[in-house]
């Protein structure tokens, strides 16, 4: 029943799927459900302007690109994004290309997460989808029963939506995860002793393809957003205050870590934005409790290296949309019951890869000289063995979405 969520002042609202959070997971789920004729309402704490402008990663796996295409929201991505067929690993001042397409037949798309969000919000609005922004004090009730409810405040007024299912898509700091009783969940976590300092720069591209650089001073990454806007990162202390870094000091650090005798030069430009990102690996198991299903960062976080976060959010909700579709079509809970197991297979593979890519390229102060030497040996292997390079490329471009 389409459009079953109708907000009426003073009346309790009903929808088939209440979706908490308008990030990539929540918005894409709402879009997929709409295509299957299933009604949903999306609740979001921030404003539309905020979700459409927050800078996050920008690498889409081939499978993510295919899903956005297949569901009719890929047109602007193909016009404005850039297909990359390889990435570079730089260490000892020497650059080694990993030929993603040659090794796997697959490529990646550089297209910022907030652009995906803009495309999804537009698609939902065009279809008459219901999204409530600036909601506060969201609470999930009766997740384990047949008729869960989501309570919240909007414009100072207390409201409630009853629903068949709740999708918790509100990120690592969201409330959804807490609706799974502590005794029913297990959390796995690893916090890294470093973060990423990220800058957005107005400058031409320094490199056609991404450069992941390992240096004794720490990791650095050259990425891009467009011909005019570039994205650069370097490893830093997780508690670093970005405002304490002058532009001059930022460029000095990037030049040092990206130095090469190959004639390549980093092109400087106006720094438009700067910030520090923490690095964490996290998984909650199970990803479901009764009629509550977690998806994306609400259920798992990967360290930034390899940019898997949004890709996992998209694959989670693809799995969830198929399971909900089966339930609403014929009452079968088989796919819903298997949601956690299906998602976690892919999630743990992405966890493994993200930690490995991080360890391969970052400086960990706790490492001894032997471990640092081994890190170089591993980089040598990845860049000289076709089998090892293929393993990297398979994971980087994305493992299959079931």
Binding site for ligand DHB (CB under 6 A): 57-59, 210, 221, 223, 231, 304-307
Work out the end-to-end distance of the chain between its first and last CA atoms, rounded to an integer number of angstroms.
Answer: 27
Q: Which is nearer to ligand DHB, 177 or 362 (CB)?
A: 362
Q: Which is nearer to ligand DHB, 39 or 309 (CB)?
A: 309
Q: Which residue has the tokens 């438009």?
A: 272
| Helices 339-361 and 369-384, packing angle to 10 deg | 110
Q: Which is nearer to ligand DHB, 292 or 301 (CB)?
A: 301
From the CB of 39, what's the least distance to ligand DHB, in Å? Answer: 34
Q: Which is nearer to ligand DHB, 43 or 313 (CB)?
A: 313
From the CB of 387, what's the least distance to ligand DHB, in Å? Answer: 23
Judge whether 221 and 184 are in contact, CB under 8 Å.
Answer: no
Distance (Å, whole) CA 293 – CA 402: 18
DSSP string, 225-251: SSSSEEEEEEEE-TT--GGGS-HHHHH
Distance (Å, whole) CA 125 – CA 116: 14
Q: Which is nearer to ligand DHB, 74 or 306 (CB)?
A: 306
From the CB of 305, what's the least distance to ligand DHB, in Å? Answer: 5
From the CB of 56, what's the least distance to ligand DHB, in Å? Answer: 7
Residue 176 structure tokens: 């959804």
Number of H helices, E strands in the chain: 12, 19
Distance (Å, whole) CA 14 – CA 147: 10
Non-local CB neighbours of 234 within 8 Å, separated by 6+ positions? 196, 197, 218, 219, 220, 221, 253, 254, 257
Q: Which is nearer to ligand DHB, 20 or 210 (CB)?
A: 210
Q: Which of 294, 304, 300 is nearest to 355 (CA)?
A: 304
Q: Which is nearer to ligand DHB, 109 or 298 (CB)?
A: 109
Q: Which is nearer to ligand DHB, 35 or 96 (CB)?
A: 96
| Helices 309-330 and 62-70, packing angle to 10 deg | 40
From the CB of 353, what's the least distance to ligand DHB, in Å? Answer: 11
How do beta strands 292-294 and 157-168 pair? parallel
From the CB of 220, what's the least distance to ligand DHB, in Å? Answer: 12
Name the phi and psi angles at 306, rounded to 5.
100, -15
From the CB of 259, what's the least distance to ligand DHB, in Å? Answer: 20
Judge whether 87 and 99 are in contact, CB under 8 Å.
Answer: no
How do beta strands 229-236 and 220-224 pair? antiparallel
From the CB of 229, what's the least distance to ligand DHB, in Å? Answer: 11
| Position with the least CB separation from ligand DHB | 223
User: E strand or H helix at 285, and its extent?
Assistant: strand 270-285
Q: Which is nearer to ligand DHB, 210 or 266 (CB)?
A: 210
């Amino acid at each position: 029943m389409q459009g079953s969520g109708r907000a009426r002042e003073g009346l309790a609202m009903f929808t088939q799927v209440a979706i908490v959070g308008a990030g990539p997971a929540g918005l894409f789920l709402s879009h997929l459900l709409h295509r299957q004729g299933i009604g949903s309402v999306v609740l979001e704490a921030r404003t539309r302007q905020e979700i459409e402008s927050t800078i996050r990663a920008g690498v889409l796996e081939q499978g993510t690109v295919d899903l956005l295409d297949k569901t009719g929201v890929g047109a602007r991505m193909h016009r404005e994004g850039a297909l990359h067929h390889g990435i570079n690993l730089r260490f000892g001042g020497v650059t080694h290309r990993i030929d993603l397409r040659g090794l796997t037949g697959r490529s990646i798309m550089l297209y910022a997460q907030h652009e995906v969000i803009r495309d999804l919000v537009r698609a939902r609005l065009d279809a008459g989808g219901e999204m409530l922004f600036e909601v506060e004090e969201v609470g999930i009730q009766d997740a384990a029963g047949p008729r869960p409810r989501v309570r919240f405040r909007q414009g100072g007024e207390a409201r409630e939506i009853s629903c068949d299912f709740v999708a918790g898509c509100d990120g690592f700091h969201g409330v959804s995860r807490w609706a799974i009783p502590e005794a029913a969940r297990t959390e796995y976590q690893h916090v890294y002793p470093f973060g990423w300092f990220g800058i957005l720069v107005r400058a031409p591209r320094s490199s056609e393809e991404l450069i992941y650089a390992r240096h004794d001073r720490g990791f650095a990454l050259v990425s891009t957003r467009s011909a005019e806007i570039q994205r650069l990162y370097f490893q830093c202390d997780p508690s670093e205050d970005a405002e304490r870094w002058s532009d001059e000091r930022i460029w000095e650090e990037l030049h040092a870590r990206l130095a090469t005798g190959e004639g390549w030069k980093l092109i400087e430009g106006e720094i438009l934005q700067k910030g520090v990102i923490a690095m964490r690996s996290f998984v909650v198991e199970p990803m479901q409790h009764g009629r509550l299903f977690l998806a994306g960062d609400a259920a798992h976080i990967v360290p930034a290296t390899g940019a898997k976060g949004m890709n996992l959010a998209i694959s989670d909700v693809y799995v969830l949309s198929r399971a909900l579709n089966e339930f609403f079509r014929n009452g079968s809970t088989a796919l819903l019951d298997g949601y956690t197991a299906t998602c976690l297979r892919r999630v743990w593979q992405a966890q493994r890869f993200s930690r490995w890519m991080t360890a391969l390229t970052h400086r960990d102060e706790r490492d001894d000289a032997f471990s640092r030497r081994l890190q170089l040996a591993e980089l040598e292997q990845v860049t000289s063995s076709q089998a090892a390079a293929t393993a990297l490329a398979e994971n980087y471009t994305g493992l299959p979405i079931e």
